[in-house]
Structure 1
């Protein structure tokens, strides 16, 4: 049985870097949204306010019931008010898609995260999209850092009798600490758009794996 957010459905849509729409629903029962407010913008200015008691997605359009559409002029004054009992609007389905997903990224499969990223891409919300893309790449790249740490642990385990367990432990702590610091920095860069999500997630893990391979090669030479 699909899960969904029962309250406070919030959706933003952007185009060319500008906010185009805000969609808010106070409640959701899995099919119908209640107490819905939609704000439509044009060239960065608020032009329409839509309020309705209920909204339901059917086919390719939203059906809003028992509400009113308020139109604003460029001076932000009310130009017209159009009450309605039922009215169709060709808004995106995206708010419904977002409302039907409640799990955190760590509990989602890579395929589910990719699908959710596509939904965010349709909304044009680049900030949230970058966050999900980085988390998706983190999930895909996680096995590689495990391989890197396993190589490092194996090399230190072999060399510790000769070089001292304390030195091996200190070196492993330094490597792990350095990895998490660098990973945190690059995750922030990726979510901020300074680097691509692939670079943000894969570069720290690639470095750790390279260190592990290098240590293994060095150990074999001695």
Structure 2
């Protein structure tokens, strides 16, 4: 690695850390102002809020916004290099434009690898603490409000509840059907089903069993019945920002278990996985885009280029938010939603690269 490479890499990482610090201060100030009433209402001290909440908030947001941070950093210091004619001197000295980008590429790959580990495994652990705090002190108490709940609890068994009270772990108008070869074999009904925390099983009182054998039906009644079903009370608890608190392997397991229960709307969780794979590539793409935009000297000075960089950064954030909303609603494939901003930025980067003066 030559002196010039070390020089650019040094500025790359130093400016990135500066932008990260700046964003951390902005996030903390804005978020604290917005939620200060909740902190006061719950008698939380400033130190407690900082140690129990904002440490994890900053970790979560800075890793999530790392592609934007690196883009702003690249535009900022490269525009300054261009205005001081340092880039012109490099190119006039015989360096090719492709060679100029090389240290940027090295830096972006290193940050991309670090970002992938962070958003895939480390950040979800911080998000877990953040979400727990928000549910305890900021969000209203959660009540499970879904009606007419249908769940597949085994290969041949299907559960139905008209409603469920998550505060006492009790379901109402319960039915459990066993189906074999498209034929109903058994049906258990009861007015209620509740969780037995001692036995770690579901308990049914005053139930009726309908057994079917060909055209014949047998009806029997009972007082108490324990059921070991592939669904636990945790399933009916709050899923507020659950996708943020799960690592990539945990998200894959969660999606598989939900599909096994017959749940169809999982776009939010699938999109969360795809975004974590897309973030590292966004670091590389946005780094190159930042170089292409800011490496030429303009009459407007570096301030104009930095303003353009901020504008494009917010445009990228807008694309991510919009595509995520479409994925959550099920109107767009999670893969397309997560990768579309990267594809668009790649196309813009390629067009600008081939037209930039070299």
Q: Which has the larger radius of gyration?
A: 2
Maintained 8 Å contact 1:56/1:63: no
2:274 paired with 1:137? yes
2:175 paired with 1:36? no
> Which residue pairs with 1:126 in the alignment?
264
Maintained 8 Å contact 2:142/2:238: no
- Total equivalences in the alignment: 190
Equivalent of 1:107 in 224, 237, 245: 245
Higher helix residue share: 2
Q: How far has the Cα of 1:177 moved from its partner?
A: 2.1
Q: How far has the Cα of 1:170 moved from its partner?
A: 2.7
2:287 paired with 1:150? yes
TM-score in terms of structure 2 length:
0.43
Maintained 8 Å contact 1:50/1:70: no
**Residues 168, 176 of structure 1: alpha-carbon distance in 2 compared, 3 angstrom cutoff:** same
Equivalent of 1:84 in 223, 232, 236: 223
Q: How far has the Cα of 1:172 moved from its partner?
A: 1.4
Residues in 1 aligned to 2:283 and 2:305: alpha-carbon distance in whole angstroms: 18
Equivalent residue runs for 1:156-195 within 5 Å: 156-160=293-297, 164-195=301-332
Equivalent of 2:354 in 182, 207, 217: 217
3-state secondary structure, aligned to 1:159: coil
> Which residue pairs with 1:77 in the alignment?
none
**Residues 57, 163 of structure 1: alpha-carbon distance in 2 compared, 3 angstrom cutoff:** farther
Residues in 1 aligned to 2:231 and 2:143: alpha-carbon distance in whole angstroms: 11
**Residues 106, 63 of structure 1: alpha-carbon distance in 2 compared, 3 angstrom cutoff:** closer
Q: How far has the Cα of 1:200 moved from its partner?
A: 0.9
Equivalent of 1:204 in 341, 344, 353: 341
Higher strand residue share: 1
**Residues 199, 119 of structure 1: alpha-carbon distance in 2 compared, 3 angstrom cutoff:** same
CA RMSD across the alignment: 4.1
Higher RCO (CA 8 Å, separation ≥ 6 residues): 2
Q: How far has the Cα of 1:94 moved from its partner?
A: 3.2
Residues in 1 aligned to 2:317 and 2:297: alpha-carbon distance in whole angstroms: 24
Segments ≥4 residues shifted beyond 6 Å: 99-103
